Amino acid sequence: MYRVRVIKSFASAHNLRGYEGDCENLHGHNWKVEAYLASDKLDKIGMLVDFKVLKKHLNEILDGLDHKYINELEYFKTVNPTSENMCRFIYDKLKEHFGTMVERVVVWESDNAAAEYWE
């Protein structure tokens, strides 16, 4: 099995609906995102996927989140913008392009707290 990973970051604000504590208030993070693709096959030149292509698609997704109030984005009007749900959102968006090669997404909201999503 082969796996590739890229790491990108973005900044945004959110608040957690239904949470009792400080995070129910508007606050921001400098998020770090790890995107993993995996397959048992490589292309004709020996690559799983060109890193440049993976970075391009991840950047397109993160550009839609960067410097935004996440709660106001259409998807997160009904889905609580937890780190877990941010993972799922990014995973699903990547899957639209890379299909079953998407293995998992990790979203770090701080240097010592992260959530992961995989199927």
Identify which of 38, 31, 42, 34 has the alpha carbon closest to the alpha carbon of residue 83: 31
- Please tell me whether residue 33 adopts helix, strand or coil conformation: strand
Is 109 labeled as catalytic in the residue annotation? yes
Catalytic option among 23, 24, 27, 84: 23
Is 23 labeled as catalytic in the residue annotation? yes
Catalytic option among 27, 67, 96, 119: 67
Identify which of 35, 87, 81, 85 has the alpha carbon closest to the alpha carbon of residue 56: 35
Q: Which residues are catalytic?
A: 23, 67, 109
